[in-house]
Each structure stands twice: as structure tokens, then as C-alpha cells.
Amino acid sequence: SAGEAPAVQESPFNSFEDVITKVAEERDIELELALERMKVTHFSAHGDIEYVAAPDQPRDLVRRLKSFLEEHTPFEWRIRSTEERSAPVESLSERRKREEARTLEELKRQPFVAEALKAFPGAEIVQVKQPADENAPPGDVAQFPKRDASAPSPARKKEADR
């Protein structure tokens, strides 16, 4: 009926990371890498992105990003560049590097790791993997089969037969 406000359509993208995740799922590696380096200063799920332009970004980045977003949402996107703000803006790849560096520094301060690095001059930590979340559903981890506690083990049975 007339007079009703048009329904605001849901966006599948609540953050810029959601956009990058979707690009990655569609295997557009070139676009994914460019977006990971993009310094986004403002992101609105309903069609507004502001970013700091970088001299090394692909010339067609904005056009490609806009067409990708409009392919996945029912509305038009405004993507504009802005001058670098006084507050430093981090791209996703910069944040990841900073977090990895911090994790590495924290690791080097652990007594066991510090001792190991002292014991092996010239050794360096090349990769840090996060431990699997114990509460996460098992993926590649196969659970040990539960042994029936009531069944005697074969070894004990042989001893009993003697």
C-alpha cells in the first residue's frame, strides 16, 4: 500500500572483512589482495565506502569492487577516496602483520622459547599457528574410539587362561 516506507534491504556485508571473505570464496585472488591492502576509513553495510587512495592500487579497483558489491546486493554503492586522516588507518593486511609481530614478540618472551632460542644461536621463529579451539566442532581431528571399560583387555584374559 502507498505511504509505507520501502523496506531496508539486508546487506550480506556487515563489515569490509565480510566483503573480502566473499571475494576470497569466489577465488578472485587479485581483487582479494588489493582489498586486503585497502585502507578503509568508513564502511556502511548499505552502500557506502570511503578509503585512502594508494599509489600502488590497481587502476580499476574501485570499478571492480563496485561491480562485485552490486552483483551481491540489491542497491547501488558509493565508493570514494579521501585524504589520509590524522588518525592512522590500517588495512587488513597491515593489521594482520602487526598482530603476527605482537604474537611473535610475546612468544619470544616465554621462558621455554627464550631458553630454546638461547640454546640454538641463529635460530628463528618462522611460523606461529594458533592452537585449535577446544570448543570448535572437530574438523580434521579424529577422536580416539572409546574403549568399552567392561570388556577385559586381551592381555589380562591370556593371563587368566594360564
- Residue 86's Cα: distance from chain center in Å? 27
Burial category of 41 from C-beta neighbours within 10 Å (exposed 0-12, middle 13-18, buried 19 and up)? middle
What single-letter DSSP state applies at residue 151? S
Identity of the amino acid at 81: S
User: Which pLDDT band holds residue 142 (cuts at 50, 70, 90)?
Assistant: low
For the record, the C-alpha cell of 16 comes out as 569490509
What single-letter DSSP state applies at residue 68? H
User: What is the overall mean pLDDT for the chain?
Assistant: 80
User: Which pLDDT band holds residue 15 (cuts at 50, 70, 90)?
Assistant: very high
User: Which pLDDT band holds residue 87 (cuts at 50, 70, 90)?
Assistant: low
Residue 33 pLDDT more than 60? yes
Residue 116 pLDDT more than 70? yes
Identity of the amino acid at 2: A
What is the greatest pairwise CA distance in the chain? 93
Look at residue 29 in the predicted model and tell me its pLDDT.
92
What angle is formed at CA 53 by the lines to CA 41 and CA 27, rounded to 5 degrees?
Answer: 85
Mean pLDDT, residues 82-93: 75
